[in-house]
Each structure stands twice: as C-alpha cells, then as structure tokens.
Structure 1
Amino acid sequence: MQGRWSRVVRTPLGLTATVFVVALLALACLGPVLWGADADVVDTDNILAAPSGEHWAGTDNLGRDILLRVLVACRLSMLLALMAIVLAVVVGLLLGAAPFVLGRRTGRLVTAAVNIAVAFPGILLALFFAVVFGAGATGAVMAIGLAGAPAFARLTQTLVAGIAARDYIAAARMAGVGRVRILFRHVLPNIAEPLVVNATIGAGNALLSFAGLSFLGLGVQSPSYDWGRLLYDGIAAIYVNAAAALTPGAAVLVAGLAFNLFGESVAKGLGVSVGVGLRTVATTRAVVAAEPEAAAHDDEDVPEPSSDVVLDVRDLEVTFPGPAGPVRLVRGVSFEVRRGEAVGIVGESGSGKSMTALAITRLVADHGRVDATRLDLLGTDLLAPDTAVRRRMLGTSLAMVFQDPMTSFNPTRRIGAQLAEVATHHQGMTRREATARAVDRLTAVRIPDAATRVRQYPHEFSGGMRQRAMIGMGLMGKPSLIVADEPTTALDVTVQQQVLDLLTAIREADDVALVLISHDVTVVGEVCDRVMVMYAGRVVEDLPAADLATAARHPYTRALVEAVPDMATDLTRPLATIPGRPVSPADAPVGCAYADRCPLADARCRAEDPPLVADSGRHRVACWHAGEPLPPVRMTDDLVETVESL
C-alpha cells in the first residue's frame, strides 16, 4: 500500500499537484492567522486603487487589500467545498449501497431515482437546491452536496455490485451475516480507493461550483467572503481595476486544477480508473461457506440428525426469470449424502451441477428461486426462515470450496483474522484462542510455518496454499459436509493432486461427507464413492464410482467416459467426442434432453422424458434404452486419410 501511494508523487505531474494541494491546505490553515486582521482594514483614501507596490492587486470599494482578502478567503472556500464533497460522498454512499442493503425490490426504486438524478446536469441540480435551501453558505453546501450525490451513488452502485457478486460475499450471507455488517466489513474496504480518488477530484469540482454560486449571489453572503464572493465584487470594478476580478478568479482556477490533477495522479498511481466504470484495485473472491462472520453465539444446542444422512435433497428445482418465462436450471434433483461418503457430480458446462451446489449452500442469487420437497442438512430444513441456531449450525457444519483460488479471501484482511472469526463468532473463543486454532487448522491442511502465515495477506499465498487455507477455514468448526465446486480447476496438476489428497484425508479422518463437482470424470471416479451424472438440469444416472468405467448404462455417461483418453487409447483412431451441443435450459425439449445427441434415440425418446428409476441396487438411470450397445463410430474418408497421414 505504501509503495502504491509513493508512486503518486514520483511523476512530475503527481509531484506538482501534490505540492499545490499541500500549499493550499497550508494557506487555508495559516492565511487567516497571518493576514486576517490586515485584510479587514478599511482605507477610504485608497478606494478602488490600482495595483501598486503597497497593494499588489489593488483595493476594493472600501480600500481593503484584495490580495490579502484572496489569501484569507482560501480557508472558507476550501472548508465549504470539503463540507459539500463530504455530504455528496455520504449521501452517495447511502443511495449507492441501498440496493445491496434493502434487497432487490426496494433497491430498484432507489436505483431508478438515482438514474433520473444523474440524467440532469449537476449545475442545474445545484441551482435548484440552492433555491430550495435559500441563499447563504449553508444552503450552498446543501445544494452542491446533494447535486454531487447522484454521481457518487451511481459509482457506488457499480462498485458494490461488482463486489457483491463475489462468492465470499454470498458465503457470508449464507452463514446469516447481516447485510449492513457485510457492507462495512467486506464491501466498503474493497471499494475505498476508487471512492477516495473520485472524492479528491470531486473536491475540485465542488470548489468551482461553490465559487459559481457565490458569484451568482446564492452562496456566501457579506460580510463573510470566499473566492466566489470576491469575484462577484471584483466584476463590478473590472474596468477600473481588472486585478480585482482576475486575482480571485486565478485562485479558483489554480485550486480547482490542483485537486483535479492530484486526483488523476492518485488514480494513475493506484491503478484505479476514474468514473462510473472503475475497477477496484483489489480483486475479491469466494471464501469457505462457513464464513467467519455470523450471528452472535447462541446457547441453544444444534439439533443432531436422527440417522447417518448428512444431506437429504428431494425434488430440488432452481428457477430464474427469463424473457419468455421462468427458466428451470435444476429440474427435480433428488439424492442423499451419508457420513463419510463422497458423492461426485459430473456433467458438461450448463448441466446444472454448480447451481445444485449453490442451492444446497443457499447461495443462489436473489432473483433465483429454490424449491424442494425436502432440503435438509443434519435434519435442519435449509428452506425454513433464518434462526440463530440454524446460522450457527451452517457456520460450523457446512464448508464450501470454490474453484478459483486466486480470489479465495477478502484481500483487505489477514488470513489468520479471517479464519479466527469462525471460532470467535461460532464457538465463543477469545481472539487469542481463535488465532491458535487458526494456526492449528493451517497446519492441518499442510501449510508450512503456519504461525507466520496467519499474519500474511491472501496475495502473499500461492494458489495452492490459498485453496488449502480455504479448506482450513471450513475446518475451523466441525464440518459434517464439504461441498467442493471444481476446487482444482485453476491449479496445476501437481497441486491438483495435493488438494484432492487433502480432501480425501479430511473425509477419512473425521468421517466428513463430501460433494465434489467436476468436469473430470476420472478425478471423480478416483475420489468419490458414488457419481451422479447431470444433463440439462437433471440427474440422468446415479451409480457407484467403481462402475463408472465399466457398468455405466446411460449413453451420455458412457460418452463422457469414452471422451477421456488413457494409456490404452488407440492413437490410430480419432479421439471420442460427443456430437452436438448441450441443450439450453430455456429451450429444454419435451422428451429426453439428450435425444438430439444420442445415437440410440427414437420417437419415444423425443416425446417422453424418461424417469430416474433404480436399475439395480443404488444404481439409478433415466433412459429408455439403458444399457443397450452403442453403434460403432464410423470414420469418414477425409478423417481416415488424416489419421493415416499421421
């Protein structure tokens, strides 16, 4: 952070702007002290005197020194401008954060009001509010502050929306953390720098706007004076003494340029874009769903399940609004996960596997709808209204590992602090005890020198270490279920194996249930006990992992397995592929969704959607032609020539 701020003054422009801003602030503090008395001295013998060695900018209509009055007016001009920009930022933050805090419906009304206000030029809004609040310094501060608020509100909405989409924010909400606390703890620290940059530039604009109102007679009133008021008085004598108007005008110009150039320099030094389309400096990301913050510790006991079933899902559906009506991304998914069991979910992109995981962990976006006949974790209904007991249970019994370790944690907080909050909020530990627990959990997930690592920030961890630390956060409590959504996607193959071995070791050591989501059927077959194959939002086959390569009965499952090459793959033949493209959830057909890509499909497949029924034991399959042999793949003449040439 210190290095980034030091870059602000390393460029000639940044250094010059910084010197000017510091000089203006010093003048605002010292001007009235050094020249305040002399600036108010009336000399009737020198009324409207021209510039001279005694009065460098001449005198006004009472014989007062204009230059001294300009120097003294710096304090009031700067103070009023800063008050106006503070008001604009505060109101803008409240309006910009309102959609996040109030929810989707009420937030839409606030967003619409902000959009309407932004459409009006700021000067028109300032004039309108100045008339409403009346002439004077107080009315001008209110007018300029409120006129500048819509722009900051729009900026804040954009920044907050970007941060709110991150998985660790959703994880905090899943654990029952209040929206206001999430806003102050996780959102605002990550958008602070772009807001500071734009507030700095806004201060210069507020200074110019304030001078304009005072010049029009709507700002500071006599006997007080700021640069705009001095400019107003000097215009009346511009043909007698031009310096009377040019001197305060030059002061306004220099101050406005100084603040704007300083803001631009800060933006370049910190790598922050200026305007509504800013990007935040720190990229944020998901954390374990056992988010470190939750409701206060509750004395009630977490209910224990009556059997070894950890997760029980029946008829799960996830629906989102679409242009042509509701779109079902998950359609009637049913399964259960027992203690110590590892269940894998595989399928192509868009098959609904990640959306199923988000529904289980209550991370579906606000505009999505989750319905189920049963959605229980350890006997607790996840669709029921929030209670302190349920939030505590979720915070300690459920962990989720997301796929991108580059943004696994809040980048503004130390790793140890983020892990420790799980214990302080859910288990009633002191800060020292929670820190010791964090060191122990980091050690458990094989992070070396954990006592030192807890004091480091996420960017100081490698990708594999961040992923292991994220798993460690889930272990701060006593999780009964870990949901891992493609946890190895962004890692190299060596680290992938380490993360998978770690998940396996945790499952075996603590009898933890695991739901592993992956595109890689080989990984799922090696790690899991049971595999569910999803296509177009529903489960098409559920079978033991040991049978995946040899006893899969659905054509789609067999196609996924065959598409993965191994050491026995015939190099003289083309690699197996699945023809066509996955079905869009918005255009799901009446019959089997896989029919257009299936070599066994017939008229019945296109007319009737096969139910998921038990085939043998715990093997379930949804297919009218389950287990039938697939026709051989025939190579075209062009493909044969290509293979032979190789």
Structure 2
Amino acid sequence: MKNWSRAVRTPLGLTGFGLLALTLFTAVFAPLLWGHQATSFDTDNMLAGASAQHWFGTDNLGRDIFFRVLVATRLSIALAVSATAISVAVGIVLGSAPMLLGRWLGRPIIGLVNTVVAFPGLLLVLFFAVVFGVGAQGAVLAVGFAGAPVFARLCHTLMAGVAGRDFVAAARVSGVGSGRILIRHVLPNIAEPLMVNATIGAGGVLLSFAGLSFLGLGVQSPAYDWGRMMQDGLTGIYVHPLAALAPGAAVIIAGLAFNLSGEAVARSLGVQIDVPWRAAVTPRRRRAPAAGARTGPDTDTDLVLDVRDLRVAFPHGDAEISPVRGVTFQVHRGEAVGIVGESGSGKSLTALAVADLLEFPARVDAERLTFLGADLRDGTGHRHLLGTSLAVVFQDPMTSFNPAHRVGAQLAEAARAHQRATRAQAWQRAVDRLRAVRIPDPRRRARQYPFEFSGGMRQRAMIGMGLMGTPKLIVADEPTTALDVTVQRQVLDMLQEVRAADGVAVILISHDVSVIAEVCDRVLVMYAGRVVEDLPAGELADGARHPYTRALVAAVPDMRSDIDAPLATIPGQPVDPAHVPAGCAYAARCPLADDRCRAQDPPLRTAADRSRVACWHAGEPLPILSDLAALEVDA
C-alpha cells in the first residue's frame, strides 16, 4: 500500500490517476446527469457545427455529441473492464495448468499458449468475433479470449517463480493440494504484478473494443460506445470532423489513464511489464520400482526411513550430472541422524529427494526408498503421509512462511487439509502448537504476519507447523543458519524436546560439525554426492577414520585450540558435480592419496562396529594438520 501511495505522488502517477479518476467519475455519473441531453432529438439542428449550445455540434439526428461522448463512457469502460476480467481469469486458468494438471497435460497447454501469443492480437480478436458473433456480448468474449494468452504466459512465468519458494514447498510437505496451494499461496503473491499488467492491458482492450464497434462487429444501435460513435461520424468526417474525432479523443484519454496509472504503479513496485517466458516448473520424472524390489511393509517396526542407492540427476547438455550418487542409510524411531559436509556435497538434495520436493527436470532413482513402509517412488501412495507423519524445517524461515498470510492461518492449513478440522478447531490447534514451541502469547502471535516474528520465533513456528500432525520424522535443513548462538540453542533444544517426548526421528543437516556431534546419535559425512563415512556421533571427534571427516573436525576450533596457531583449513575446492574425477573424489585434497585412490573409487564398507567408511587408507595417521594448508592441490 505504501508503494501504491508513493506511485500516486509521482508526476506520472498524478497524471495517470487524475485522468483515471476523471474517467471513472464520468462513467458513473454522466448517464445520470446528462443522459437526457444525450438522447434528445433536435431535427432543427441536425449535423450542426460546434457552438455555445452544442460544444462539439450534433449528429444526424440533432443529438448533442459532447453529451453523447460523456454518456458513452460508462458502456465503453464497462465493456473494457469485463473483457479484461475474462482475459485475466482465463489466463490464470491456463497459466496454472502445469501446477494443477502436471507435466504431461500442463506443458502442451503452455506450448499452445506461446504459439497463440505469436499471432497478431487484432487477428485473434477478429477470429473470436466471428466465433462469438456480432454484438456487445460477442465482442466482450472475443476481446477477452484474445487477450487471455498474454495473461496466461505472464501468470505462468510469475507462478513459476513463486512455486520454487520455500513456503510453497512447506505447503506441499504439509500435504496441501495443488488447487489450495494455487489459491492461498501462489495467487496472493502474484496479485500486485498481475493487477498492474491488467490495468495497463485495459487500455489496449479499450482500443480493441473501439475498433470492433467501428467495424460494426461490436456495440449495435440503439446502444452506443465510442467506437460506434466514430463509425456514425465517419461518413461526414470532412464536413463535420468533430463527430468522429471527439469519441476518438475520448478513447485516447481513457487509454492513457489506464496505461499511465499502471506504469506509475509498476515503477514504484519494480514490476516487470514485459516478462519473458521461461519453462514451466513441472513434476519430476520418476522411474518405476525395480523388478523384484520390495514395496511392502518392513519387518523392522522401528524403521522409519529406508534409503538404498539413492541417486539424483539433472540434465546437463547431452548428458546428466549426479549431485547425489548412491546414498544409502536408515533412520529408526527416536533416532537423530546428522548429515554434514561442505556446500555442494549433496546434503540438502538428499533431504529434498526424501521429502519428494525435487521438481522436474530432476530425476530421482533409488533401489529402495520407503517411509513408514510406504514406497516414496510411486509418487501418489505416500501423499497422505506429508504433513501428518513427515515434517520439514527449512533453512530460512522468512521464505518458508507465506508473507501474504498470518502465521496461525498457515499452521491451521495442515489441520484443515488432513484432519478435517473446522476453521475454529484448526485455529485452536495452531495456537496450541505455537504454545508447545514456547512462543509467548501464542493467541496474539497467531494473528501476526511472519515479518512481525523474530528469526528465532519464525524457526520455532516452523517446527510448530511440523507438529500440526503427529510426525514420525522431522527433516531439519540448516535450521540454525543465520541465528545467533542463544537462539540456535533454543531451536536445537526444541528439536530435542520434540524428539524425546514423542519418539520422533530427526534428520539434521548442517555445516556445523559441533552441532551435529552434540545433537545427533549418528553422523553421515557426505562428499561429492556420496556418503564417505557413517559413524556414531560420540566418535566424531576422536574416532573418525576418513581423512575428510577428520579434516572437518579439525577445522572447528575448540577450547583446546592453540590461539597462536593458524586455523586449520581443508585445501583445495569441493568437486564440481559435472566433473567428478575417476577414483576417490577426495583424492586431490587428501594428504594420504596415492595412485590407487586416483584410479579406484573405494566402496562404502561396514566395519565390525557397524560404522561405515569409504577410504583405502581409513584410520591411517594424517600429517600434522598445520601442514595441510601447504599441501599442493591439483586444481
């Protein structure tokens, strides 16, 4: 609202909104004030020129042209607004096709839309005018449907940007349907640019209507709009030019009013008017379960998540890159499993694949991927588990909440979607969950928007959203990033309390080795898309056997660190997923690497204590850590 008011105060805004206010005032009150003068016949003054009595002269029946132009404003504007509304409504339906119908039906629709957009607008208007027939109603439908492809492309582009936001992913994890996500989460966040473009588009629609009526395809006598008046005045334009020029000037003024107003708001909001099209966000492709793979319930009743040989691939030119390569692990009831590694190691992609949040063109394959016995590879059978048994806490709670809705309403959405709760029951449940995560005055806070929460409160509210159901697994992706240490402790304590109270399993993803060691029972260390070590958290500091794990631990200073010595670092750079070298991916940075490491990729082998490590030199002593920085690295 502040941006809109700022737009009005600019010279462009003052001009545009001033003209728009004058146009709308005339549309509302002109028929009431001057309707009689516009329809009164004066056969003694037919085709009279401009005079003090008739400012723009009279038509062939002696009717005052000036008053007729004013009265015609209502019908002209009403028809333009109606056609614009049809264009926007049909555009939203077509633009949301990939989200509502999926890839196979949605992409052809968007392809057809982009093909139609390439045709000249006037040609489309004339085509639909023939389809819907002559008259005002047919003209409204013709202009409305002809403008729909442009708005469909715009809506599709805007929706694709919003669909990738964390709060939409959070709604999907909550099990909210695509239609409800569209209405509650996507449309409110594209409303402003859509309204701006619709306002600007109304000026073009007004011109299209005038053209149809001028050609005799629009408004028919005895009704009249500006286009009809231009047609009536065309026959005597050389003798009595104002009969045609006056309604033409009205079209220009009204069109400028819409265009300048929309342009002023667009500049203040930073809205892109001519938005380029980009590919739709569509569901990812899935591979059918492998022949002979088990899909039934597990015999281990405590097993929550079973992941075997998980792979995530993305198209890369004519080939594919695999940021996640053969990840295998299990999570049991009440167990906290930490996943640690540098940026780009595949931690978050692994979690997103488990939560079914990877979109096309990502391809997720696995020998086995089950949650509570349900096969997550089928794409449909597990949807009822989202929001009830599986919760996700994202890295940035500010983007995980929809800024257009109150916090309580967003929490209540899951209860209404899964528990068939009434609005009042869902709201009470949301307040109760906010209270459970120790947010003060939860009833008042539930009515606030996300920006009114502090960072720590938003993160706790995200945990509360996950607790709206009865989760068996919480996936927390960097839940303490950008929080100060005090708030970090509160968030981690909250996860521990939830886990202890209800036996909830937790997957905690973090760069911070010390946090993982303190909170988790078991640690998965990932590098270049693989698990290179799986060990108990208590052994992370002194019992790690992989050189990469030991380097990560050494890079975290503690109370025993020598304050005069330089901080330990890991030389070199992480591996580019598009150029994974042969052999061990860590060999170029490893002080123990030899020719075998550079030629053969070590398998993930299980030791007697059930820990796992993928290294040809597991447990061998490392060089002095202070010398690692001097290690020569093959870039």
- In structure 2, what is the Cα distance between the partners aligned to 1:442 and 1:175? 16
Match of 1:159 in 2: 158
Contact conserved, 2:95 with 2:153, CA < 8 A, in 1? Answer: yes
Match of 2:206 in 1: 207
* Residues 28-48 of structure 1: per-residue CA shift (max 9 Å, x gap): 233334433432333333222
1:408-487 alignment, distance < 5 Å? 408-487=400-479
Shift of 1:469: 0.3
Contact conserved, 1:305 with 1:378, CA < 8 A, in 2? Answer: no
Shift of 1:5: 4.9
Higher deviation after alignment, 206-215 or 334-343 = 206-215
Residue type of the alignment partner of 2:344: G
Shift of 1:8: 5.0
* Residues 169-201 of structure 1: per-residue CA shift (max 9 Å, x gap): 234334443322221222112211221121112
Match of 1:310 in 2: 304
- In structure 1, what is the Cα distance between the partners aligned to 2:498 and 2:309? 30
Shift of 1:7: 4.4
Q: Which runs of 5+ in 1 are unaligned?
A: 279-302, 640-646
Contact conserved, 1:305 with 1:379, CA < 8 A, in 2? Answer: no
Residue type of the alignment partner of 1:61: N
Match of 1:50 in 2: 49
Question: Secondary structure of 2:619's match?
Answer: coil
Match of 1:110 in 2: 109
Question: Secondary structure of 2:387's match?
Answer: helix
Shift of 1:411: 1.8
Match of 2:390 in 1: 398
Match of 1:529 in 2: 521
Match of 1:326 in 2: 320
- In structure 1, what is the Cα distance between the partners aligned to 2:243 and 2:92? 40
- In structure 2, what is the Cα distance between the partners aligned to 1:583 and 1:274? 40
* Residues 1:63 and 1:425: Cα distance change in structure 2 (over 3 Å): closer
* Residues 419-474 of structure 1: per-residue CA shift (max 9 Å, x gap): 22333333344433333332222122121111211111112111111110000111
- In structure 1, what is the Cα distance between the partners aligned to 2:298 and 2:598? 45
Match of 2:99 in 1: 100
Shift of 1:638: 11
Match of 2:86 in 1: 87
Shift of 1:336: 1.3
Contact conserved, 1:408 with 1:467, CA < 8 A, in 2? Answer: no
Higher deviation after alignment, 269-278 or 482-491 = 269-278
Report the aligned-residue RMSD.
2.7
Match of 1:589 in 2: 581
Question: Secondary structure of 1:490's match?
Answer: coil
- In structure 2, what is the Cα distance between the partners aligned to 1:423 and 1:182? 15
Count residues in correspondence: 612
Shift of 1:366: 3.0
Contact conserved, 1:544 with 1:618, CA < 8 A, in 2? Answer: no
- In structure 2, what is the Cα distance between the partners aligned to 1:305 and 1:52? 97
Match of 2:332 in 1: 338
Higher deviation after alignment, 360-369 or 562-571 = 562-571
Contact conserved, 2:174 with 2:391, CA < 8 A, in 1? Answer: no
1:35-184 alignment, distance < 5 Å? 35-130=34-129, 133=132, 135-184=134-183
Higher deviation after alignment, 333-342 or 432-441 = 432-441
Higher deviation after alignment, 375-384 or 544-553 = 375-384
**What is the aligned counterpart of 2:342 among 334, 348, 355?**
348
Question: Secondary structure of 1:161's match?
Answer: helix
1:591-630 alignment, distance < 5 Å? 591-630=583-622
Question: Secondary structure of 2:602's match?
Answer: coil
Contact conserved, 2:591 with 2:628, CA < 8 A, in 1? Answer: no
- In structure 2, what is the Cα distance between the partners aligned to 1:305 and 1:202? 62
Shift of 1:63: 2.3
Residue type of the alignment partner of 1:349: S
* Residues 1:127 and 1:434: Cα distance change in structure 2 (over 3 Å): closer
Contact conserved, 2:570 with 2:629, CA < 8 A, in 1? Answer: no
- In structure 2, what is the Cα distance between the partners aligned to 1:334 and 1:636? 30
Higher deviation after alignment, 116-125 or 154-163 = 116-125
Contact conserved, 1:171 with 1:363, CA < 8 A, in 2? Answer: no
* Residues 1:625 and 1:188: Cα distance change in structure 2 (over 3 Å): same
* Residues 1:107 and 1:315: Cα distance change in structure 2 (over 3 Å): same
Instruction: State, as a whole percentage, how many aligned pairs show the same letter.
Output: 67
Residue 546 (structure 1) aligned with residue 545 (structure 2): no
Given the two structures, how large is their TM-score scaled by the length of structure 2? 0.89
Shift of 1:333: 1.3
Q: Which runs of 5+ in 2 are unaligned?
A: 278-296
- In structure 2, what is the Cα distance between the partners aligned to 1:305 and 1:410? 40
- In structure 2, what is the Cα distance between the partners aligned to 1:18 and 1:63? 34
Shift of 1:19: 4.3
- In structure 2, what is the Cα distance between the partners aligned to 1:628 and 1:638? 20
Higher deviation after alignment, 195-204 or 157-166 = 195-204
* Residues 1:630 and 1:415: Cα distance change in structure 2 (over 3 Å): same
- In structure 1, what is the Cα distance between the partners aligned to 2:377 and 2:559? 46
Match of 2:288 in 1: none
- In structure 1, what is the Cα distance between the partners aligned to 2:299 and 2:40? 86
* Residues 1:172 and 1:61: Cα distance change in structure 2 (over 3 Å): same
Match of 1:281 in 2: none
Match of 1:294 in 2: none
Question: Secondary structure of 2:621's match?
Answer: coil
Residue type of the alignment partner of 1:499: V
* Residues 1:637 and 1:270: Cα distance change in structure 2 (over 3 Å): closer
- In structure 2, what is the Cα distance between the partners aligned to 1:362 and 1:186? 19
* Residues 1:440 and 1:275: Cα distance change in structure 2 (over 3 Å): same
Question: Secondary structure of 1:177's match?
Answer: coil
Question: Secondary structure of 2:237's match?
Answer: coil
Residue type of the alignment partner of 1:60: D
- In structure 1, what is the Cα distance between the partners aligned to 2:472 and 2:455? 25
Residue type of the alignment partner of 1:99: P
Residue type of the alignment partner of 1:584: D
* Residues 533-576 of structure 1: per-residue CA shift (max 9 Å, x gap): 01111100011111111121111111111222334333444332
- In structure 2, what is the Cα distance between the partners aligned to 1:439 and 1:175? 17
Match of 1:367 in 2: 361
* Residues 348-389 of structure 1: per-residue CA shift (max 9 Å, x gap): 1111111110111111213222222322222332224524xx
Match of 2:498 in 1: 506
- In structure 1, what is the Cα distance between the partners aligned to 2:154 and 2:35? 40
* Residues 233-277 of structure 1: per-residue CA shift (max 9 Å, x gap): 334333323322332122112111112222234435555443426
**What is the aligned counterpart of 2:508 among 508, 516, 520?**
516
- In structure 1, what is the Cα distance between the partners aligned to 2:133 and 2:304? 66
